């Protein structure tokens, strides 16, 4: 099986369109890598897509320590997008579940069994069930969409190889896929924003670029003695919003909430309470609870 790199595909609508020919070529490339790893008697193989940015240099060591057949580090993004599914239909389509957002937002932390991972994941080639995994050709009984991540998810099911995603640490980031009609410039812009997002979450300190405040240089500290810098914040706030768009005549901590007509009771999320504007059309004298939550 020869490795080929195509600049375009005869059935594509544009450079960002994932046509069947493009999926097929990607699956063949991944299968070639998997076959080579087996021939070399490797213990593991780590797949990392080019739209993944790993910022945790302990990611590989962490994944190996989990001792899972197929395991992925949960990757963050600028949206609700990530590199795993919590549910899949019998037809191979995405299924919404109650577990996705608690996992994505790290409200529940750990390694969780899921039907699909992609973009970045580790396969333990020492385990018997992973010997039956394949990216190409699809399983003989495969009837789902011709898509590399779905083909691999089906292969894991058929082989009895459990798939897990882990979110105990921040491992890195994943770029949100662009649409078929978008351009490479659109994707480049997304990567710029993603890189800035990663920089804002405390990458490892590098004295040639910037110094994290939590790791001050001892040499720098000697020039600023005594270290008695104080930070103050005005309380109560000096300026308050009068209302938010979306809920007419109401002051709310979110414009996506539902109308609540009993101001003496809290809404169904913790710590939130709406305040009716007074007859003069302004917020008037707000109760302290309303001010505090803003």
Q: Where are the domains of the chain?
A: 20-174, 232-294
pLDDT tens per residue across span 61-71:
999 999 999 99
- Output the average pLDDT for the chain: 78
Q: Does residue 290 carry a pLDDT above 70?
A: no
pLDDT tens per residue across span 5-37:
567 777 776 677 778 998 999 999 999 999 999
How high is the pLDDT of residue 288? Answer: 41
Segment 238-265 shows an average pLDDT of 52
Rounded Cα–Cα distance for residues 106 and 169 (Å): 9
Please give the residue that has the higher pLDDT: either 289 or 240: 240
How high is the pLDDT of residue 192? Answer: 79
Confidence band of 200 (pLDDT split at 50, 70, 90): low
Q: Looking at domain 20-174, which CATH architecture does it have? A: Alpha-Beta Complex (3.90)
pTM: 0.65
Q: How far is CA 190 from CA 79, 174, 193, 221, 238, in A?
A: 12, 10, 5, 38, 37
Q: Does residue 273 carry a pLDDT above 60?
A: no
């Amino acid at each position: 099986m020869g490795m080929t790199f195509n600049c375009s595909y005869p059935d594509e609508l544009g450079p960002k369109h994932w046509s069947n020919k493009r999926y097929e070529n990607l699956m063949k490339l991944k299968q070639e890598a998997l076959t080579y790893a087996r021939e070399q008697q490797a213990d593991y193989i780590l797949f990392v897509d080019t739209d993944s940015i790993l910022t945790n240099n302990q990611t590989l060591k962490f994944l190996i320590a989990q001792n899972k057949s197929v395991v992925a580090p949960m990757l963050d993004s600028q949206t609700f997008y990530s590199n795993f599914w919590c549910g899949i239909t019998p037809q191979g389509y995405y299924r919404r579940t109650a577990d996705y957002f608690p996992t994505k937002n790290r409200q529940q932390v750990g390694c969780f069994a899921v039907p699909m991972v992609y973009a970045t994941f580790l396969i333990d080639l020492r385990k018997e069930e992973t010997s039956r995994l394949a990216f190409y050709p699809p399983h003989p009984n495969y009837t789902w969409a011709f898509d590399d991540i779905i083909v691999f998810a089906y292969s894991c099911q058929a082989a009895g190889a459990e798939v897990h995603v882990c979110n105990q640490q921040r491992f890195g980031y994943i770029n949100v896929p662009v649409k078929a009609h978008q351009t490479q410039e659109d994707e480049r812009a997304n990567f710029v924003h993603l890189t800035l997002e990663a920089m804002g979450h405390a990458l490892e300190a590098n004295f040639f670029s910037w110094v994290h405040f939590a790791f001050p240089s001892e040499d720098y500290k000697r020039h600023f003695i005594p270290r008695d810098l104080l930070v103050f914040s005005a309380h109560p706030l000096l300026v308050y919003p009068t209302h938010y768009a979306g809920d007419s005549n109401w002051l709310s901590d979110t414009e996506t909430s539902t109308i609540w007509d009993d101001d003496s009771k809290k809404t169904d999320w913790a710590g939130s309470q709406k305040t009716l504007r007074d007859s003069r059309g302004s917020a008037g004298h707000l109760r302290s609870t309303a001010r505090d939550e803003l």
